[in-house]
Structure 1
Amino acid sequence: MKQLPKIALGTWSWGVGAFGGDAVFGNHLTEAQMKAVFDAAMENGLNLWDTAYAYGLGDSEKELGKFIRQQPKGSVIVSTKFTPNLADENQSDPFMSMLEGSLERLGVEEIDLYWIHNSLDVERWSPYLIPALKSGKVKAVGVSNHSLEQVKRVNEILGAEGFKIEAVQNHFSLLYRNAIDDGLLDYCQANGITFFAYMVLEQGALSGRYNVENPLPEGSMRATTYNKVLPQLAKLTNAMAEMGEAQGVSAAQIALAWAIHKGTLPIVGATKVHHVTDAAKATQIALSPEQVATLEQLAKETGVDTRGGWEGEA
């Protein structure tokens, strides 16, 4: 796999429609706004972009593809996903059908990192990764929202043909450290698997921007999830803001620095230029062991569990 930057940029908020940025986040981005974000990222050396067919049923990929086409071939590291529950069962090869659609929308001949988006029927879908790798259309593969046992099983299936999982992408934040508790992060680090951490900022709830007086945008799914727990998060986000102030950075950058400190590669949802420049600065922040311990203790004291409904018991 290519050399990866310390942070990936996520485009779940890009595009509209089912599971798109408007429905999930309450965002309505113009093409000019997305281009400004993309250009800022490339200027800051953040060339790893994460998307999925599921984000707006291909709309996120289509928007990202407009900008990838304007770059020198191979200069953008492309990460996208096969979502089992959205597979077209009328196709003779539903896996390759979704992959081909992603290649077309993104305007590339190969995907640097192709994921199975969730753990629906691991035994059925995992073997499809092998012909995708053999075809050359996929350079490396990963799994998202899989448990430790499921990750091990996929590695067994791939190992029979001489391949392996290169990356895992799971929910991971100060409020959701399941990957530490169940040993998945340790397994990844022991086996050369890059752990991509998504929702490190819990869709903005840990950004320091929102509080009881200034809740998340009403009418969005994230407002429904997080606004009710903002009072419990105040002590944690205030401490993050104080730590950040001492280093001239924000609470959000402290959250990202924590995730990097734990050995993960955070995915930052990028909808504004400052999200990109802030992310680039976060890669330079050093947290002391005492600061890390304080953050984790305060996070524990919130009593907030942000396990997503899609995560089951994994």
Structure 2
Amino acid sequence: MKMRSLGNTNIEVSTEGLGLMGMSPGIYGEVDDTESIKIIHRALELGINLFDTADTYGGGHNEELLGRALRGVKRHQAVVATKFTFGPHFQFIGGHPDYVKKAIDQSLQRLGLDYIDLYYQHRMDPNIPIEEIVGAMAELVQAGKVRALGLSEANSQQIRRAYNTHPIAVLQTEYSLWSREIEADILPTTRELGITHIAYSPLSRGFISGKLKTINDLNKDDIRRRLPRFQKENFQLNVEIVNSLAVMARSKNVTIVQLALAWTIANGAVPIPGTKHMNYLEDNVKAVDVILSSDELKILNSVSTTISGTRY
């Protein structure tokens, strides 16, 4: 597994991480904690060390799950990233400094850890200046509870203001062949400041996997049924685009998933695809060895102009 540093820190992470959100109930249908823990352990065996969770996923279940999986694992083997802002079950947006300090202690308790490697503000709180929020987060670094700070879905101005308060190691956004809005302004800012980009939903919530053929492939309680790209005529139009990606994938003797993840890595991001299936994990990790030529990148870049439906 290839490694890279997080921002300007000495924290080394795998070129590809593992997103854990889907391992909790209420997200993508049924879950199996025993199998999820096996997947986390297998990820470690494959060289993945970056594990992404949040206090809101499953109302705290996701952090507890990761904590159980890491029992008996040497602390330095895992880079644990979690987030605050929403509270359990996405109930609110909270960035008040007092809440930040309360949230970290609750996360540490659920994870069973003494410190968190990477702590994110999950979403921006419009009612509190980001300087106050990051200032409170910086106190957690000084207290030894957090090693590095991150932002999620922040705009360029917010990133700069936050960075002027305390160094920001990471920005996390949705980023995939189908979600490239950040390339115009946000990515140039992170590159200028030396901030690592973490890409969630690098497979456009599984659409680019090639596994979805009709809307009925999704469980009835799957949140994707409510997203525009998965609805009515958009769904079938996007399936056709995935089929076109399969042509290039076959020519390179790789899967569509590996192709899409390799594109994300080639664009400087650390993708954190999630999965509840062992074979998908093992398929995903092979993307780190896929090399894309400049011509192949141009072809893949053209795909994003034909997607039907918005993210939300």
Does 1:33 pair with 2:35?
A: yes
- Distance in 2 separating the partners of 1:212 and 1:61: 32
Per-residue CA deviation, residues 249-307 of structure 1 (Å, 9 max, x unaligned), is 2111111111111111111112111222122101111112222221221220234332x
Give the aligned partner of residue 141 of structure 2: 133
Aligned partner (choices 226, 244, 249) of residue 249 of structure 2? 244
Give the aligned partner of residue 255 of structure 1: 260
Does 1:232 pair with 2:237?
A: yes
Aligned-pair CA distance for 1:96: 1.4
Aligned-pair CA distance for 1:93: 2.6
Give the aligned partner of residue 69 of structure 1: 71
Per-residue CA deviation, residues 14-51 of structure 1 (Å, 9 max, x unaligned), is 233xxxxxx2211x222221122012101100011000
Give the aligned partner of residue 298 of structure 2: 293
- Distance in 2 separating the partners of 1:92 and 1:118: 14
Letter paired with 2:153? N
Give the aligned partner of residue 19 of structure 1: none
Letter paired with 1:83? T
Q: Please, what is the CA RMSD of the aligned residues?
A: 2.1
Q: What secondary structure sits across from 1:269 in the alignment? A: coil
8 Å contact kept, 1:241–1:251: yes
Aligned-pair CA distance for 1:140: 0.4
Letter paired with 2:151? V
Aligned-pair CA distance for 1:88: 10
8 Å contact kept, 1:81–1:117: yes
Instruction: Note the 1:70-109 alignment, pairs <5 A.
Output: 70-83=72-85, 93-109=98-114
- Distance in 2 separating the partners of 1:102 and 1:247: 43
- Distance in 2 separating the partners of 1:92 and 1:264: 30
Per-residue CA deviation, residues 171-203 of structure 1 (Å, 9 max, x unaligned), is 11111111102x211221222211001111111
User: 5+ residue gaps in structure 1?
Assistant: 17-22, 159-163, 309-314
- Distance in 2 separating the partners of 1:41 and 1:60: 16
Instruction: Note the 1:1-314 alignment, pairs <5 A.
Output: 1=9, 2-16=11-25, 23-26=26-29, 28-83=30-85, 93-120=98-125, 121=128, 122-158=130-166, 164-181=167-184, 183-212=185-214, 215-225=217-227, 226-228=229-231, 229-306=234-311, 308=312
- Distance in 2 separating the partners of 1:234 and 1:87: 35
- Number of equivalent positions: 293
- Distance in 1 separating the partners of 2:19 and 2:182: 20
8 Å contact kept, 1:87–1:95: no
8 Å contact kept, 1:175–1:304: no
Letter paired with 1:237? V
User: 5+ residue gaps in structure 2?
Assistant: 1-8
- Distance in 2 separating the partners of 1:25 and 1:213: 13
- Distance in 1 separating the partners of 2:36 and 2:260: 24
Give TM-score, length-normalised by structure 2: 0.88
- Distance in 2 separating the partners of 1:13 and 1:250: 21
Change (3 A) 1:270 1:212: closer
